[in-house]
Amino acid sequence: MNPEDQKLSSLLRQSKPAPSLPPRFAEHVWRRIEHTPERSATWLDTLAAMILRPRIAWATATVLLISGLLLGVYQGNQTARQADLGRYLASVAPSAVR
């Protein structure tokens, strides 16, 4: 590049004026941020926020775990009872006479 061109570029950069900020610019920006209307939370937002709270999440998980176990044990008992009944019935009342 021509050294004269380099000098010219440098001069042009120096002469380009940087725009000055208006007075109390920062204060105006913060005021606009404060007055910006918030998006109203929908019921989904509320529900999701509630779910993500640790206490509620742990409590729900504990309740599900215990209720699942209890229901499983109850169902297992019922199934085992039916199996025991079937075994007794097969021993005393063969299908030929039922």
Least distance between other proteins and beta carbon 38 (Å): 16
Place of tokens 């204060």: 27
Q: 21 or 48, CB closer to other proteins?
A: 48
Site of interaction with other proteins (CB under 8 A): 42, 44-45, 47-49, 51-52, 57, 60-61, 64-73, 75-77, 79-81, 83-85, 87-89, 91-94, 96-98
Contact predicate 21/27, CB 8 Å: no
In the three-class reduction of DSSP (H, G, I as helix; E, B as strand; rest coil), residue 18 is classed as: coil
CB of 55 to other proteins, least distance (A): 14
